[in-house]
Structure 1
Amino acid sequence: MLTVEDITGFFLENASKSSQSPIENSQNIPIIESWVGVEKDGRAVIQGKLFGHPQHPLGVKMMTSTIQRYFGGAGHVYVKTRNSLYELGQPLHELALPVEMPDFQSMAKMTIWH
Structure 2
Amino acid sequence: MLTIEDITGFFVENASYKSGQTPQEDTQNIPIIESWIDVEKDGIAVIRGKLYGHPQHPLGVSMTTSTIQRYFGGAGHVYVKTRNSLYELGQPLKELELPDETSDFQALAKKTIWHC
Same fold (TM over 0.5): yes
CA RMSD of aligned residues (A): 1.9
Q: Which residue of 2 aligns with 1:89?
A: 90
Q: Which residue of 2 aligns with 1:9?
A: 9
Aligned AA for 1:6?
A: D
Aligned AA for 1:8?
A: T
Paired with 1:107 and 1:59, the residues of 2 have a C-alpha distance of 26
Paired with 2:108 and 2:66, the residues of 1 have a C-alpha distance of 15
Count of residue pairs brought into register by the alignment: 96
- SS of 2:28's equivalent? coil
Q: Could you tell me the percent identity over the aligned residues?
A: 84
- SS of 1:54's equivalent? coil
- SS of 2:8's equivalent? helix
Paired with 1:80 and 1:62, the residues of 2 have a C-alpha distance of 15
Paired with 2:95 and 2:43, the residues of 1 have a C-alpha distance of 23
- Pick which of 54-63 and 36-45 moved more: 36-45
Q: Is the 8 A contact 2:36 2:114 kept in 1?
A: no
Write out per-residue CA displacement over residues 57-77 of structure 1, whole angstroms, 9 at most, x where no aligned residue: 000000000000000010000
TM-score, normalization: structure 2?
0.76
| Shift of residue 93, structure 1, vs aligned partner | 2.0
- SS of 1:44's equivalent? strand
User: What stretches of structure 2 of length at least 5 have no aligned partner?
Assistant: 18-26, 97-106
Greater Cα radius of gyration, structure 1 or 2: 2
Paired with 1:4 and 1:72, the residues of 2 have a C-alpha distance of 16
Q: Which residue of 2 aligns with 1:66?
A: 67
Q: Which residue of 2 aligns with 1:50?
A: 51
Paired with 2:14 and 2:75, the residues of 1 have a C-alpha distance of 8
TM-score, normalization: structure 1?
0.77
Q: Deviation above 4 Å: which 4+ runs of structure 1?
A: none
